[in-house]
Amino acid sequence: MTANDPHRLRRVVVACVLMLGFVGVLCRLFTLQVLQAAELTARADRQHRKTVTVEGSRGGIYDRQGKVLAINMDVPSVFGVPASLENPSGVARDLARVLHVKADEIERKLRQERSFVWIARKLDPEQGRSLEGLSLEGIGTVMEGRRFYPKGPLLAHVLGFSGMDGQGLEGIERRYDSFLRGEKQLVVLQRDALGRTVFPKGLNEQAPSPGRSVVLTIDEVIQYIAEKELDEAVAATRAKGGVAVVMEPRTGAVLALAISPKFDPNAVRAVSPDRWRNRALTDAYEPGSTMKVFIAAAALEEKVMDPGTLIHGENGQMTVAGTVIHDHEKSGWITFSQVIQKSSNIGAAKTAMALGEERVHRYIRAFGFGEKSDIDLPGEAAGLVKETKHWGRRSLASMAIGQEIGVTALQLVTAVSAVANGGWLMKPYVVSEVHDGKGQAVVQNGPQVRRRPISVETAKTLTGILEGVVTNGTGGKAAVPGYRVAGKTGTAQKIDPQTGAYSPTLFVGSFTGFVPAEDPRLAIVVIIDEPHAEAWGGVVAAPVFRRIAEQALPYLGVSSRAPVKLAMAMGPEEAP
């Protein structure tokens, strides 16, 4: 190239331009491959991948005999990738026929500017099979665990239920959720350059670890008996509802907890949240005459009374603090035992007055009223026991007959168990063990003593008095042929929410007791809320106690014959 070359300048300019372009390309490549590499890689991943969280199967729940009460079934969940759909309307119509959902609702999801949308979660297996036959582009399924309760409504208030995302929402499902929930695992769904979903091979085979299983103290057979008898009683009395709790007095283990009306946890969306409530734990009520058991226990323990102490019945009417306390039958002088057996309000009030406010309050709290029992179920209420400084002039007499105090069914059966087992107040529980995937126990619950409110001598004496309630008192309908029964009836007026005064028509009838009295295996409380016609606890609740006990005792192998005591020949040196 000579100095006189007319194209020299042009070639220089072109060379410079090419050089600058080359440098620009190098700079851009450096920027993309070095400076922005991480950001662009992440952006590419977001465009071609979608991460979905899949949770391992939820652990099972079993009764004390190993019978299944709650399990997980693997069912399909269907999702869509909107960007890969050419005809969202047509796909929506096809899905609607299988899912039984309006097509326009599905179409709205499929037209979202998102890389992934759930269309329907945890379908019925039949729907999953129908979806497989459609083979729709941009639509996929993944298996998820769906909670199933094979016994339907049985034990629903104890089991509770879990939500769509596998989180326990009520009952055992909620209280033991951290154990029951399976391990979470991330599953990556990929899309090709055309936006079509490429599902990883073996997607449904990469299941994360399942949750742990829970074994209850509940016995399915006794639970069935309790629910059946309670439901029949509620229906026969046209009551608002009812509660029945069966407990092992020596351990505090709950064998059955029945609530009426009940619900099916498989179809929980169809019922009001009010129906889910475990009323045995959450609802406090004025117990009426069943509270006389614990006033009697205090009087015996403090030696204020003994079974033969005479109390005047005031011919059925006594004035206290400007109000009148009535008995359902007139009486003159009666023994302390008869006060309990005949359920004398006047006799109970006089007993409480002999004890005084401080001792009555102390023993009521000692039996667990006014505090939570710390049972392993959610939602427990403490009930209501006022401090003595808040008592009125009539409060002492009212407490003696089960007024001005709020207790739960669980508190009542736990307290009467303390009489049955010789004076020990136990901590109630419904879960005995939690097992890992290998069947090894990782949690074990057993009997726990909370305190001792009365001595074994007092418990024995009181048991004899309570046997008289059934053999010669208000609780005759609780008698179980072949067994000795100890218990107490209760009939309490409810507060009328309109007037704030005791209603003349709204009552709670109850019975609580234990059997066999000489060697208690079962403590039972039965509460019938607002029965029509007759409302006496001895009429509406005591028969339910009997029917539960007379079926449960033989099932547990408890002989109906009293043990035979053999007289052994002894020499003089062997005699006690």
Reading the block at residue 60, the tokens are 């099972």
Of the candidates 378, 435, 430, the residue with the CA atom closest to the CA atom of residue 174: 378
User: How many Cβ atoms are within 10 Å of 331's Cβ, its own excluded?
Assistant: 18
d(CA 478, CA 540) in angstroms, rounded, equals 10
Helix (H) or strand (E) holding 48: helix 37-48
Catalytic choice (57, 77, 162, 289): 289
d(CA 517, CA 515) in angstroms, rounded, equals 5
Reading the block at residue 255, the tokens are 């064998």
486-495: strand order across its sheet: 254-260, 241-247, 522-529, 502-515, 486-495
Please report, as a single letter, which amino acid is at residue 6: P
Reading the block at residue 569, the tokens are 């020949």
d(CA 315, CA 408) in angstroms, rounded, equals 33
Of the candidates 398, 364, 412, 366, the residue with the CA atom closest to the CA atom of residue 541: 412
Q: Are strands 213-216 and 431-435 parallel, antiparallel or unpaired?
A: antiparallel
Q: Give the CA count within 13 Å in the CB-facing half-sphere of 134.
A: 22
DSSP state of 535: -
Of the candidates 165, 156, 144, the residue with the CA atom closest to the CA atom of residue 61: 156
d(CA 186, CA 54) in angstroms, rounded, equals 6
Q: Annotated catalytic, 344?
A: no
Reading the block at residue 45, the tokens are 């991943």
Angle at Cα 334 formed by Cα 329 and Cα 356, nearest 5°? 100
Segments in 269-335 forming alpha helices (H): 273-276, 279-282, 292-301
3-state class (DSSP) for residue 407: strand
Reading the block at residue 35, the tokens are 């400076």
What is the DSSP track for 131-200? HHHH--TTEEEEEEEEEE-TTTTTTHHHH-EE-TTS-EEEHHHHHTHHHHSPPEEEEEEEE-TTS-EEPP
3-state class (DSSP) for residue 82: helix
Residues with catalytic function: 289
